[in-house]
Amino acid sequence: MPNLFANLECLTLENPNAGDSDACVIWLHGLGASCNDFANLLPELQLDENASIRFIFPQAPTMPVTVNSGYEMPAWYDLLSLDVNRKFNAEHLSQASAAIADIIERQIAAGIDSTRILIAGFSQGGAVAYDVALNSTKPLAGLMALSTYFATSATCHFAGQNQRLPISVQHGLQDDVVLPELADKAEAILAEHNYDTTSHRYPMAHEVCREQIADISQFIDRCLPVKG
């Protein structure tokens, strides 16, 4: 299978008032969306104005998606079913995970310590974020799982380097795309492996709400405090 994830395009944004970035958030969008989705959310976050954080928003490649009648759209993997035990193209997800791991390595090479790198993902992007963070042998700052599910829990290595990784699981109670029980299932698996998780549920569908923006801001501040 050709690697659709080689040379991913990324939108990179930094705080122009805070000098050189000493931390990084890598934030993955959902199925059919774009790297601009969460970039447009940045002005609404209530982060410390002195935070020297680089935000990287990778753009998923365009591919046919089976559950959408083969229609081509940005996707991190082909989704084969939408039921609770949803089926997906595991090779696609593995390639996507490796591509994000490569972004992490490039940020480390650029001078950002791995413990100052936070991984976030919404929906499909969150499934990739789970796989990246919990398999990473580089200690990371945190994992933010937004309206998503732990697709690769059965094959995850649960690397010891991130056993103490802070994880925020955020989900809408009216989500009919990724059912809330999938977030519950992910949290149960994480609890079995003794991860530090914070759980948030909101009166919303498959989206982001105002209350959640405050929780996102607090989690980023917690994981990536301003130095000095």
Catalytic residues: 123, 175, 206
Taking alpha carbons only, the member of 120, 112, 139 closest to residue 21 is 112
Taking alpha carbons only, the member of 85, 116, 88, 89 closest to residue 182 is 85
For 97, phi and psi rounded to 5 degrees?
Answer: -60, -45
**Fold that domain 10-223 belongs to in CATH:** Rossmann fold (3.40.50)
For 84, phi and psi rounded to 5 degrees?
Answer: -60, -35
First vs last C-alpha separation in the chain: 47
What distances in angstroms separate CA 44 from CA 74, 217, 218, one per listed residue? 25, 9, 13
pLDDT of residue 228: 67
Mean per-residue pLDDT over the chain, rounded: 94
DSSP 158: -
Does the pLDDT of residue 200 top 80, yes or no? yes
23 DSSP β-pair partners: 53
Does the pLDDT of residue 1 top 70, yes or no? no
Taking alpha carbons only, the member of 172, 183, 181 closest to residue 130 is 183
Domain boundaries, the chain: 10-223
157 CB contacts (<8 Å, ≥6 apart)?
A: 134, 135
16 CB contacts (<8 Å, ≥6 apart)?
A: none
Query: Tens digits of per-residue pLDDT, 79-91?
Result: 998 877 789 999 9
Query: Tens digits of per-residue pLDDT, 134-192?
Result: 999 999 999 999 999 999 999 999 999 999 999 999 999 999 999 999 999 999 999 99
pLDDT of residue 20: 87
pLDDT of residue 86: 81
Q: How far apart are CA 149 and CA 169, in angstroms?
A: 9
**Rounded to 5°, angle at Cα 151 from 100 and 113:** 30
User: What's the alpha-carbon Rg for the chain, to the nearest Å?
Assistant: 16
